[in-house]
């Protein structure tokens, strides 16, 4: 309870600070827009990257979104954080570009529309995953493969939450899905990435395949 | 499962099924649940090796994944962004 109150007043303080900064920018002190952007440019970039998966496109879309937010700053209502607003612009721009980039693609076909129950692989021990046996480079490759194997809707949410460390509300804004949908997808994404990682690691180390009873 | 059942000492306990635990694993990792749910889950985890391993392994994979992707912004990103904005500010002035 105490913590919630602290967090709320902290939040109010941030919103207040942002409102003042935005008022100044709108009054013509444009250079201060950098201050508004600086703390979130990394999150902006990686939101775009989570969706587009190429550096060049992610950077272009980040710039477009940051520019769009500047031009539309007058329309920002200030009810939510500026970061959530900007992230939703970035998410939108990135998705638009993605749609343009591919009319029909295998990715789309792979994305399941079914977001129901998911049953993870059963392990007797975490140690069954031969992490220590994997060289650093190989570990990185296995993780990358696991991430790439995820259907897009799960990969996006996983990157935003667990790599970019956006919070649930920011992720929901960036992907334009509801908070419960973020949570449902995240659960599925986390279990799936674990399973992909586990099964791929086994495949390479057949000696360490599922423990014999 | 998931309904009340009585354990020896006569205290009413709600237990969670493995399925219910699985559904909450992600929320548990995010510390996004009521203290009551958290307690129930932890009681289950203490007694169910399968679910404990599921939680550990999922957590470990996510930690590995985050470690592997200590993303840095592309070199010069901020500079290029400032450049682009500087041009825009010029336009906005005129």
Per-residue tens of pLDDT for chain A, all 213 residues: 455 566 667 778 878 888 999 999 999 999 999 999 999 998 899 899 988 888 899 999 999 999 999 999 999 987 778 988 999 999 999 999 888 876 544 444 445 555 567 777 777 666 556 566 667 777 888 888 888 889 989 999 999 999 888 899 989 989 999 999 999 999 999 999 999 888 876 655 544 444 443
The CATH number of the structural domain formed by A2-101 is: 1.10.1740.10
Q: Which residue of B has its CA nearest to A189?
A: B26
Total domain count, chain B: 1
Residue A116 is predicted with a pLDDT of 65
pTM score, whole prediction: 0.70
Min Cα separation A134/chain B (Å):
12
Residue A141 is predicted with a pLDDT of 82
- Judged by DSSP in three states, A76 sits in coil
Which residues in chain B touch residue A165, judged by CB atoms under 8 angstroms apart?
A: 66
C-alpha span between A72 and A25 (Å, rounded): 12
What b-and-e string marks burial along A40-75, b requiring 16 or more CB atoms within 10 Å of the CB?
bbbbbbbbbbbbbbeeebbbbbbbbbbbebbeebee
- Domains in chain A: boundaries: 2-101, 107-208
Per-residue tens of pLDDT for chain B, all 94 residues: 444 444 444 444 678 999 999 999 999 999 999 999 999 999 999 999 999 999 999 999 999 888 877 667 888 999 999 999 999 999 887 7
Cα-based angle A142, A204, A161 (whole degrees, multiple of 5): 20
Nearest beta carbon to residue A163 from set B30, B56, B69? B69
Residue A211 is predicted with a pLDDT of 41
Average pLDDT, chain B: 84
C-alpha span between B26 and B16 (Å, rounded): 16
Residue B92 is predicted with a pLDDT of 82
The CATH number of the structural domain formed by A107-208 is: 1.10.10.10
B27 contacts A187? CB cut-off 8 A: yes
B53 contacts A126? CB cut-off 8 A: yes
- Judged by DSSP in three states, B89 sits in helix
Residue B15 is predicted with a pLDDT of 85
Nearest beta carbon to residue A31 from set B50, B62, B89? B89
**Could you tell me if the ipTM is greater than 0.85?**
no
């Amino acid at each position: 309870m105490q913590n919630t109150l602290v967090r709320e007043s902290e939040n109010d303080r941030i919103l207040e600070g942002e409102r003042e900064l935005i008022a100044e920018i709108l009054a013509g002190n444009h250079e201060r827009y950098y201050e508004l952007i600086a703390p979130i440019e990394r999150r902006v970039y990686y939101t775009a990257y989570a969706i587009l998966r190429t550096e060049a496109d992610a950077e272009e879309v980040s710039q477009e979104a940051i520019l769009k937010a500047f031009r539309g700053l007058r329309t920002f209502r200030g009810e939510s954080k500026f970061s959530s607003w900007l992230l939703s612009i970035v998410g939108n721009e990135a998705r638009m570009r993605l749609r343009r980039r591919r009319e029909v693609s295998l990715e789309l076909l792979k994305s399941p529309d079914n977001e129901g129950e998911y049953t993870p692989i059963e392990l007797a021990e975490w140690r069954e995953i031969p992490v220590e046996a994997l060289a650093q480079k190989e570990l990185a490759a296995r993780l990358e493969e696991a991430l790439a194997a995820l259907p897009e809707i799960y990969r996006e949410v996983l990157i935003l939450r667990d790599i970019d460390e956006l919070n649930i509300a920011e992720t929901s804004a960036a992907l334009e899905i509801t908070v419960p949908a973020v949570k449902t997808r995240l659960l599925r994404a986390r279990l799936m990435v674990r399973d992909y990682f586990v099964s791929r690691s086994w495949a390479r180390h057949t000696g360490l395949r599922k423990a014999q009873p | 499962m998931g309904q009340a059942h009585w354990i020896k000492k006569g205290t009413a306990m709600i237990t969670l099924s493995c399925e219910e635990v699985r559904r909450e694993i992600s929320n548990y990792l995010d510390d996004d649940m009521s203290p009551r749910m958290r307690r129930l889950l932890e009681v289950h985890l203490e007694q169910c090796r399968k679910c404990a391993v599921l939680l550990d392994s999922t957590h470990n994979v996510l930690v590995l994944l985050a470690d592997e992707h200590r993303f840095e912004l592309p070199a010069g990103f901020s500079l290029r962004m400032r450049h682009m904005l500087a041009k825009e500010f010029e336009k906005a002035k005129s």
